[in-house]
């Protein structure tokens, strides 16, 4: 449901603003904290997708490119402009 994605994105945006996540975090890092609205894999992924679409985050894929390379993982870089007070991205839709 789109509303759930928005709620999750707002919750994740707040954690980013509070400095609870740093560049290079993964979806697993978010899930592990069990923050309200971010407890399931689907909710976390919806929040990550939403914030990436809003240019708060940029993902980069690592691993999973061949035998013995491990599982494919996405790491997320935080847009510094998104967390500055008064920035254009200060509010998530």
21, 92, 88: which is closest to 50 by C-alpha?
92
For residue 90, name the pLDDT band (cuts at 50, 70, 90).
very low
Tens digit of each residue's pLDDT (9 = 90 or more) over 15-70 = 999 999 999 999 999 999 999 999 999 999 999 999 999 999 999 998 766 666 66
Separation CA 93–CA 87 (nearest Å): 14
Q: Measure CA of the first residue to CA of the last residue in the chain; give whole Å.
A: 15
pLDDT for the residue 68: 64
Residues 6+ apart with CB under 8 A from 45: 27
pLDDT for the residue 83: 78
Separation CA 42–CA 56 (nearest Å): 19
What is the domain partition of the chain in residue ranges? 2-64+71-83
pLDDT for the residue 82: 82
User: Could you confirm whether domain 2-64+71-83 is CATH 1.10.10.10?
Assistant: yes
């Amino acid at each position: 449901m789109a509303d759930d994605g928005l709620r999750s994105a707002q919750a994740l945006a707040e954690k980013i603003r509070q400095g609870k996540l740093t560049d290079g975090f993964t979806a697993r890092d978010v899930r592990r904290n069990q923050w309200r609205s971010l407890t399931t894999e689907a909710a976390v992924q919806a929040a990550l997708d939403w914030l990436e679409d809003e240019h708060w985050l940029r993902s980069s894929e690592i691993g999973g490119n061949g035998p013995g390379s491990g599982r494919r993982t996405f790491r997320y870089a935080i847009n510094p402009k998104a967390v500055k007070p008064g920035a254009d991205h200060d509010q998530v839709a």
